Amino acid sequence: MSPTNAAGDNPDNVVTRWFGPAFYQLHPLLQALHHRGGILCGDIAIDTGGGLAGLIGRRLARRLGMPLGRSRCGFEVQIVHEADALLWRRRFDDGGMMISRFVGNGHFPTGSWTEQTGPLQLSLGVNIVDGGWRWRLREARWHGLRVPLALLPRSRAGKHIVDGRYAFEVEFRLPLLGRVLRYGGLLDAQPADP
Write the pLDDT tens digit of every residue in 53-106: 999 999 988 888 888 888 899 999 999 999 999 999 999 987 778 899 999 999
Residue 149 within any structural domain of the chain: yes
Collapsed DSSP state (helix, strand, coil) of residue 8: coil
Decide if pLDDT at 193 tops 60. no
* Domain encompassing residue 42: 14-191
Q: 41-54: per-residue pLDDT in tens?
A: 999 999 998 899 99
Q: What is the pLDDT of residue 150?
A: 85
- Is residue 135 a contact partner of residue 154, using CB atoms and an 8 Å limit? no
Decide if pLDDT at 6 tops 60. no
Q: What is the pLDDT of residue 1?
A: 31
Collapsed DSSP state (helix, strand, coil) of residue 175: coil
Q: What is the pLDDT of residue 83?
A: 92
Q: How many domains does the chain have?
A: 1
Residue 181 within any structural domain of the chain: yes
Decide if pLDDT at 11 tops 80. no
pTM (predicted TM-score): 0.86
Calculate mean pLDDT across residues 181-193. 86
- Is residue 172 a contact partner of residue 182, using CB atoms and an 8 Å limit? yes
Q: What is the pLDDT of residue 2?
A: 36
Residue 163 within any structural domain of the chain: yes
Query: What residues have CB less than 8 Å from 114, skipping those under 6 apart?
Result: 102, 103, 105, 121, 122, 123, 124
Q: What is the pLDDT of residue 43?
A: 96
Residue 1 within any structural domain of the chain: no
Q: How many residues in the chain?
A: 194
- Is residue 79 a contact partner of residue 88, using CB atoms and an 8 Å limit? yes
Residue 4 within any structural domain of the chain: no
Q: What is the pLDDT of residue 45?
A: 95
Collapsed DSSP state (helix, strand, coil) of residue 113: strand
Distance between CA atoms of residues 104 and 111, nearest Å: 8
Q: 124-177: per-residue pLDDT in tens?
A: 999 999 999 999 999 999 999 999 988 888 899 999 999 999 999 999 998 888
Q: What is the pLDDT of residue 39?
A: 96
Residue 21 within any structural domain of the chain: yes
Residue 9 within any structural domain of the chain: no
Residue 5 within any structural domain of the chain: no
Q: What is the pLDDT of residue 33?
A: 93
Q: What is the pLDDT of residue 7?
A: 41
Collapsed DSSP state (helix, strand, coil) of residue 72: strand
Specify the CATH number for the domain of residue 179: 2.40.128.20
